[in-house]
Structure 1
């Protein structure tokens, strides 16, 4: 597959990754190579990666962090920063983030802030990280239960997408990443959406191309608006309510923890409903969105008493301005509109639609 050039990085695929990484290391001659993994990728992905990494005489150190969204904290960053310092990392060091979205988000933030910035490369190992988290330069950590409240936009030098790593993923993690692919179709490319919603006509060999197409869509959007002043905001469709739901379920122990994509799937249905009331999305499109998402994602139990705390969490959404909650909504499948506003009454209607469909 042909590599994709982003604003500051290059995304390489499958067998190309390791040859390009070899060239990169030779040209940049890092003082030390650090590899950040979590518990799972240490066991499932690191041996394969190390077997193909050609580092020459350069020292390689592996740092392991806990897995899961609850580990995406400034405390874990402190541990990684301290480990870098203890190992003698300098500004010529290279950090390779080998993992899912938590590892690439946190690792990118660590690299962007250690000594005011060291070079880093993302090697995403989950579907979510391949199509979304590792591309575009958004790095950061959560603030308590608030998603991605601390971070910077700082793109690494390279992204390496090796689809073979997906064989290590449990089914729920694969499904979680699929939510972001569906989102890319809904906000930007109806043809891509139609392809994704006819998966029974595809097989596993098509996954490479679908991932590639998803990265192309995200790169087009990010390249036009790297700092999220306008167009890039459309990537947040489903995330205003979705992030609030994810945070709420993360914070309340009596609720099951939702994976990112599971929460975003709910958010997309809710915000599709709002789109019919605010942006003229057709009822047929709403039915299609609801039906297709529900084929893959199980319904989440959200009760009446959950509405108010979820809505309160939306006040922390990063798209908000002057205390007003801003949504990304759909005018049609493939056409998104930014900076939309919705009343509390309409948001409650959306919850009731989701509850009763």
Structure 2
């Protein structure tokens, strides 16, 4: 795969990824190379990653606990303290080896430590390869509220090695694939149709490059999310609220990001049908495609009421209004759409049927 060039960094693949990394490390001569891992990537990915590095450098490994529940400022404080104790300075670099939680948080930690040190993202999940590690969004959650604290700051480079996906359980793969399906819905009907045929991990790997290209093109047009970049949030206004609700509610089994976003995309497709004229054919196609891949979740009236309350914290909101990204048709999104309150219950009713 050819490298994808963004505004200030590149996404490199497979052998080219390690070649680019080794050249960069030799050129920059960092004081210390820190590698941020969780317990899973420490065991399953770090040995293979280290085996590809040429040259003698001072390495320090920092391990954090995996999971969205640990994506918080307390974890950041622990890593900042470790960096200080281990002698990190502004000529150090942090390599974030992990999924979306780790690359989001690692980028934020690096961007704020001593007012910013270099960081490199090495995503190890499908979600982080096609979404979280690309585009410069970094940050942590505030309690159960998703990504409330953070900055937009670009990595030095992103290294995508699809072989890392072989370490994942199927549920994690499906979670990442939801974001790929989103790329089809917001950008290309032909890509949406192609993705619907992907059944195995090998099939999904073939489309990673296309998804990263779609996200990169959008980010290049609007790096700080003033307008068109908002289309990448299709399904996320309701999806993030659902994810947050299931994260904070001890009586609920936690949903992975892609599982919650899949529900959000069905709900927001219904809103698109009612408000922007998305055809019933496309609406049913979207619902069928997601429910074929993701388990249907039961929502009580109280669940729905609490989820709708959480929407007011969405990052796209302004002036007290909840703004949505909806679809005129597949491949044609519209941003900043306000929704009449009565339609939300209708959308959940459509999902339940």
Question: TM-score normalised to the size of structure 2?
Answer: 0.99
SS, match of residue 349 in structure 1 = helix
SS, match of residue 12 in structure 1 = strand
- Deviations along 1:189-246, one digit per CA (max 9) or x if unpaired, are 111101001225xx65443330000000000000000000000000000000000000
SS, match of residue 102 in structure 2 = helix
Q: Name the CA distance, whole Å, in 2 between partners of 1:270 and 1:174.
A: 22
Q: Name the CA distance, whole Å, in 1 between partners of 2:326 and 2:37.
A: 36
Shift of 1:121: 0.2
Structure 2 counterpart of 1:227: 224
Structure 2 counterpart of 1:189: 188
**Structure 2 unaligned residues grouped into runs of 5+:** none
* Number of equivalent positions: 353
- Deviations along 1:83-115, one digit per CA (max 9) or x if unpaired, are 010111010101000000011000000000000
Select which of 240, 243, 247 maps to 1:243.
240
Q: Name the CA distance, whole Å, in 1 between partners of 2:251 and 2:205.
A: 38
Structure 2 counterpart of 1:36: 36
Report the more deviating stretch, 129-138 or 303-312.
Answer: 303-312
Question: TM-score normalised to the size of structure 1?
Answer: 0.98
Shift of 1:326: 0.2
Shift of 1:16: 1.0
SS, match of residue 95 in structure 1 = strand
Q: Name the CA distance, whole Å, in 2 between partners of 1:57 and 1:165.
A: 24
> Aligned pair 1:4/2:4, yes or no?
yes
What is the RMSD of the two structures over their aligned residues, measured on CA atoms?
Answer: 0.9
Structure 2 counterpart of 1:47: 47
Structure 2 counterpart of 1:66: 65
Query: Within 5 A, what are the aligned runs for 1:76-115?
Result: 76-115=75-114
Structure 2 counterpart of 1:299: 296
Moved over 2 A (4+): 203-209
Structure 1 counterpart of 2:274: 277
Shift of 1:75: 0.3
Q: Name the CA distance, whole Å, in 2 between partners of 1:24 and 1:303.
A: 53
Shift of 1:58: 1.9
Structure 2 counterpart of 1:213: 210
- Deviations along 1:11-60, one digit per CA (max 9) or x if unpaired, are 00011111110100011111100000001101110111011122x23200
Query: Within 5 A, what are the aligned runs for 1:322-333?
Result: 322-333=319-330
Query: Within 5 A, what are the aligned runs for 1:256-267?
Result: 256-267=253-264
Shift of 1:343: 1.4
